[in-house]
Amino acid sequence: MKVIGRGGFGRVLLVEKKDTKQVYAMKVLKKGVIAARGEIEHTRTERSVLSKLDHPFLAKLHWSFQSDQNLYFIMDFINGGELFHHLAIEKRFNEERAKFYAAEIVSGMEYLHSAGVIYRDLKPENLLLSHKGHIVMTDFGLSKEGLLSDDARTATFCGTPEYLAPEIIKGDDYTKAIDWWSVGTLIYEMLTGLPPFYTEDEENMYHKIMTAEIDFSKHHFSAEAQDIIKRFLDRDPNTRLQDPLEIKKHGWFKEMDWEKLDNLEISPPFVPQVKSADDVSNIDDEFLRENIQEDDDDDQPKGPVKKDDFINFTFAAEQGPAGAGTKI
């Protein structure tokens, strides 16, 4: 129906299921492009993670399947717009609005970590608003699963530069604590409009992430907001704020009813203007202008794909994984 997004390996399309007329977001990834960039394992992990998620603030996978050339993820169409989109329009959020989004992210992150998953790519572009105004965390292409213990470690250098924790930049092994660094970065960005150590020069930004003081002088922060940001942005991952119970008890969240939050019983501070299930008014015009029949990814370098690279990729939420190599 329409192009509603684009990533490194393909596009996201708004589609309609013929029998029910229900609309979904269909993520289409080119197998050859994935292979050429050495991202087969990350893509398999994304499918594995998505198939297990069941949480109000995390994206829901309904089906996944494949053709000879492509992989397909069928997800809920979340049409309230990216948090990035709304932050760009409004420049910054007040503390109550930022706190609400942060709380829903904390809840989603706690769930991910309890399932042994490190997110590794928290940023406003990967956070959508539902039509009611709730956060939906998306894009698990950089996630890592199987880290069930609190001190389980991994070492891959990946993520978005502005949100990288110091231990990733140093090349150290790291734990789930990196995600809480990103939460602190995001809270600061929601309150000011920019990440705390942002510069256009990437190397300089890495240096600032490693050494610079957090600047609280340009905007008003409550004492509690400053404290939680400082504790999330502790450069020592061992003392960084990362225990979900401790986070929820922090003074910044003192009025938050976490049970009501998880049950979607707290009214969001902002409700996007959405007229219908297929309303695309909160989607970037850059995507909507694309011709759905034309695909720029066709020109990208492609690598060889082996028969079993995406074995067991097919999935239906009602019945779990389908047989090996099954195509729908």
**Active site residue ranges:** 121
CA distance 88 to 286: 15
CA angle 147, 149, 154 (to 5 degrees): 40
CA distance 81 to 96: 20
Does the annotation flag 254 for ligand binding? no
**Residue 258, SS3 per DSSP:** helix
CA distance 284 to 286: 5
Dig out the tokens for 246 from the structure: 């401790």
Which amino acid makes up residue 81? G
Residues 6+ apart with CB under 8 A from 267: none
| Torsion angle, alpha carbons of 254, 259, 262, 265, to 10 | -90
Kindly report the backbone phi and psi dihedral angles of residue 27, in degrees, each rounded to the nearest multiple of 5, phi listed first.
-90, 120
Residues 6+ apart with CB under 8 A from 74: 15, 24, 25, 26, 61, 62, 63, 64
The answer to whether 97 and 269 have CB atoms below 8 angstroms apart is yes
Residue entry with tokens 């994935």: 34
The answer to whether 107 and 265 have CB atoms below 8 angstroms apart is no
The answer to whether 151 and 175 have CB atoms below 8 angstroms apart is yes
What residue numbers does the annotated binding site for ATP cover? 27
